[in-house]
C-alpha cells in the first residue's frame, strides 16, 4: 500500500481503526523530504499490518495544532485512534517497521 496524503477533513476517518502512522510534514522541510522515501519502504514492509499517511502541516493546521506539532518531521503512531507512540525528526525504516509491528 502506498503512502497517501490526507487532510484535516479525512484525519478522523482514516485513523480511527487499526494501526496507523501519520507523518506531519511540510514541502519546505528538508528532513521531511528525506523521510518520504523511507516511509514508502515502511509502507511496503508493513502492508496489511499498518497504514501510512502524510499530513501537510501548512495546509492542515487544525490537526497539527491538535497534536501540538512543534517540529517536523513529526510522526504519530495510532492504534484504533489512540496515540501509542510519537517520533520527532528523521527516523530509519527499521525503527519504524519494528514499532508498527509491535503496536
Q: Is 28 labeled as catalytic in the residue annotation?
A: no
* Residue of 32, 39, 50, 52 marked catalytic: 32
Q: Is 41 labeled as catalytic in the residue annotation?
A: no
Give dist(CA 86, CA 71) in Å, integer.
12
Cell readout for 30 is 528538508
Give yes or no for a contact between 23 and 73, defined as CB atoms under 8 angstroms apart: yes
* Residue of 8, 26, 29, 45 marked catalytic: 29
Spell out where 1-103 has E strands.
Answer: 4-5, 19-25, 51-56, 74-79, 82-88
80: region left, alpha or beta (phi > 0 left; psi from -120 to 50 alpha):
left
Q: Which residues are catalytic?
A: 29, 32
Amino acid at each position: 500500500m502506498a503512502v497517501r496524503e490526507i487532510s484535516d477533513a479525512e484525519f478522523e476517518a482514516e485513523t480511527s481503526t487499526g494501526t496507523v502512522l501519520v507523518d506531519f510534514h511540510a514541502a519546505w522541510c528538508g528532513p521531511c523530504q528525506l523521510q518520504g522515501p523511507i516511509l514508502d519502504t515502511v509502507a511496503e514492509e508493513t502492508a496489511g499490518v499498518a497504514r501510512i499517511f502524510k499530513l501537510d502541516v501548512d495546509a492542515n493546521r487544525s490537526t497539527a495544532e491538535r497534536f501540538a506539532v512543534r517540529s517536523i518531521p513529526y510522526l504519530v503512531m495510532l492504534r484504533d485512534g489512540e496515540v501509542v507512540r510519537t517520533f520527532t525528526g528523521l527516523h530509519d525504516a527499521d525503527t519504524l517497521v519494528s514499532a508498527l509491528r509491535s503496536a
